[in-house]
Amino acid sequence: MPFVRIDLIRGRRPDEVRAIADATHQALVDVLGIPERDRFQVVTEHDADHVIALDAGLGFERTDRLVMIQIFTQSGRTTEVKQRVYRNIAERLEPLGIGGEDVFIGIVENGSQDWSFGFGRAQYVEGVLPVPGR
Protein backbone atom coordinates (compact mmCIF):
# COMPACT_ATOMS: atom_id res chain seq x y z
CA MET A 1 0.00 0.00 0.00
CA PRO A 2 2.81 2.49 0.33
CA PHE A 3 2.84 5.11 -2.40
CA VAL A 4 6.44 5.98 -3.22
CA ARG A 5 7.79 9.04 -5.01
CA ILE A 6 11.39 8.86 -6.17
CA ASP A 7 13.11 12.02 -7.36
CA LEU A 8 16.36 11.84 -9.31
CA ILE A 9 18.66 14.18 -11.15
CA ARG A 10 18.21 13.64 -14.87
CA GLY A 11 20.83 11.62 -16.75
CA ARG A 12 20.46 8.02 -15.63
CA ARG A 13 19.83 5.19 -18.08
CA PRO A 14 16.34 3.63 -18.01
CA ASP A 15 17.73 0.41 -16.51
CA GLU A 16 19.34 2.40 -13.67
CA VAL A 17 16.06 4.17 -12.93
CA ARG A 18 14.24 0.83 -12.85
CA ALA A 19 16.92 -0.68 -10.59
CA ILE A 20 16.47 2.17 -8.09
CA ALA A 21 12.69 1.70 -8.13
CA ASP A 22 13.05 -2.09 -7.80
CA ALA A 23 15.51 -1.80 -4.90
CA THR A 24 13.23 0.60 -3.07
CA HIS A 25 10.20 -1.63 -3.56
CA GLN A 26 12.05 -4.78 -2.49
CA ALA A 27 13.13 -3.09 0.73
CA LEU A 28 9.48 -2.31 1.51
CA VAL A 29 8.44 -5.88 0.70
CA ASP A 30 11.18 -7.28 2.95
CA VAL A 31 10.85 -4.90 5.88
CA LEU A 32 7.15 -4.01 5.88
CA GLY A 33 5.94 -7.37 4.61
CA ILE A 34 3.79 -5.87 1.86
CA PRO A 35 2.76 -8.07 -1.07
CA GLU A 36 5.04 -7.98 -4.13
CA ARG A 37 2.25 -6.58 -6.33
CA ASP A 38 1.39 -3.85 -3.81
CA ARG A 39 3.50 -1.43 -5.80
CA PHE A 40 2.70 2.22 -6.43
CA GLN A 41 5.68 4.32 -7.49
CA VAL A 42 6.28 7.51 -9.43
CA VAL A 43 9.81 8.31 -10.55
CA THR A 44 10.51 11.89 -11.57
CA GLU A 45 13.73 13.16 -13.06
CA HIS A 46 14.79 16.77 -12.66
CA ASP A 47 17.46 19.02 -14.15
CA ALA A 48 20.36 19.34 -11.71
CA ASP A 49 19.63 22.99 -11.00
CA HIS A 50 16.05 22.08 -10.00
CA VAL A 51 17.15 19.96 -7.03
CA ILE A 52 18.54 21.53 -3.88
CA ALA A 53 19.55 19.06 -1.18
CA LEU A 54 22.17 20.17 1.30
CA ASP A 55 23.42 18.19 4.30
CA ALA A 56 21.28 19.67 7.13
CA GLY A 57 24.55 20.51 8.91
CA LEU A 58 25.87 16.93 8.97
CA GLY A 59 29.11 17.80 7.17
CA PHE A 60 28.95 15.90 3.88
CA GLU A 61 28.37 16.74 0.24
CA ARG A 62 25.79 15.18 -2.00
CA THR A 63 26.47 14.32 -5.63
CA ASP A 64 24.47 14.10 -8.84
CA ARG A 65 23.68 10.48 -7.83
CA LEU A 66 21.18 11.84 -5.28
CA VAL A 67 18.01 9.81 -4.72
CA MET A 68 15.18 11.45 -2.78
CA ILE A 69 12.44 9.07 -1.68
CA GLN A 70 9.08 9.89 -0.12
CA ILE A 71 7.10 6.98 1.27
CA PHE A 72 3.43 7.66 1.94
CA THR A 73 1.99 4.93 4.16
CA GLN A 74 -0.50 4.29 6.92
CA SER A 75 0.46 5.26 10.44
CA GLY A 76 1.36 2.74 13.07
CA ARG A 77 4.86 1.56 12.22
CA THR A 78 7.45 1.80 14.98
CA THR A 79 10.57 3.93 14.88
CA GLU A 80 12.62 0.71 14.73
CA VAL A 81 10.75 -0.49 11.63
CA LYS A 82 11.22 2.89 9.93
CA GLN A 83 14.95 2.80 10.69
CA ARG A 84 15.12 -0.69 9.16
CA VAL A 85 13.41 0.68 6.03
CA TYR A 86 15.99 3.50 5.78
CA ARG A 87 18.92 1.09 6.23
CA ASN A 88 17.55 -1.52 3.86
CA ILE A 89 16.97 1.00 1.07
CA ALA A 90 20.44 2.51 1.50
CA GLU A 91 22.04 -0.96 1.49
CA ARG A 92 20.18 -1.91 -1.69
CA LEU A 93 21.15 1.33 -3.47
CA GLU A 94 24.86 1.09 -2.61
CA PRO A 95 25.61 -1.67 -5.19
CA LEU A 96 24.00 0.62 -7.78
CA GLY A 97 26.72 3.21 -7.15
CA ILE A 98 24.65 5.38 -4.83
CA GLY A 99 26.49 6.25 -1.63
CA GLY A 100 24.77 6.76 1.69
CA GLU A 101 25.24 10.54 1.48
CA ASP A 102 23.02 10.53 -1.61
CA VAL A 103 20.06 8.67 -0.08
CA PHE A 104 17.41 10.99 1.38
CA ILE A 105 14.21 9.33 2.65
CA GLY A 106 11.08 10.71 4.28
CA ILE A 107 8.11 8.73 5.54
CA VAL A 108 4.71 10.46 5.56
CA GLU A 109 1.97 8.71 7.52
CA ASN A 110 -1.79 8.93 7.21
CA GLY A 111 -4.90 6.84 7.94
CA SER A 112 -6.99 4.27 6.12
CA GLN A 113 -9.58 6.95 5.28
CA ASP A 114 -6.93 8.76 3.21
CA TRP A 115 -6.71 6.16 0.41
CA SER A 116 -8.73 5.40 -2.70
CA PHE A 117 -7.40 2.75 -5.09
CA GLY A 118 -9.93 3.49 -7.80
CA PHE A 119 -13.57 4.09 -8.68
CA GLY A 120 -13.80 6.97 -6.18
CA ARG A 121 -14.13 4.53 -3.29
CA ALA A 122 -12.25 4.25 0.00
CA GLN A 123 -11.56 0.52 -0.12
CA TYR A 124 -10.03 0.32 3.38
CA VAL A 125 -12.96 2.15 4.95
CA GLU A 126 -15.48 0.01 3.05
CA GLY A 127 -13.71 -3.20 4.12
CA VAL A 128 -12.92 -4.22 0.54
CA LEU A 129 -9.22 -4.26 1.44
CA PRO A 130 -7.81 -5.25 4.83
CA VAL A 131 -6.09 -2.41 6.66
CA PRO A 132 -2.35 -3.24 6.84
CA GLY A 133 -1.14 -4.22 10.28
CA ARG A 134 -4.61 -5.00 11.64
- The predicted structure's pLDDT at residue 2: 94
Mean pLDDT for the chain overall:
95
**Contact between 68 and 107 (Cβ < 8 Å):** no
Query: 2 an active-site residue?
Result: yes
- The predicted structure's pLDDT at residue 71: 98
d(Cα 97, Cα 21) in Å, to the nearest integer?
Answer: 14
Q: Give the pLDDT means over successive 10-residue stretches in the chain (134 positions).
A: 96 98 98 95 98 92 97 95 98 98 97 92 90 71
Nearest to 93 by CA among 63, 58, 53: 63
- The predicted structure's pLDDT at residue 49: 96
Q: Which fold has domain 3-126?
A: Macrophage Migration Inhibitory Factor (3.30.429)
Catalytic one of 2, 35, 95, 130:
2
Listed by start position, the domains of the chain span 3-126
Amino acid sitting at position 125:
V
- The predicted structure's pLDDT at residue 133: 65
- CB-based burial label for 15 (10 Å; 0-12, 13-18, 19+): exposed
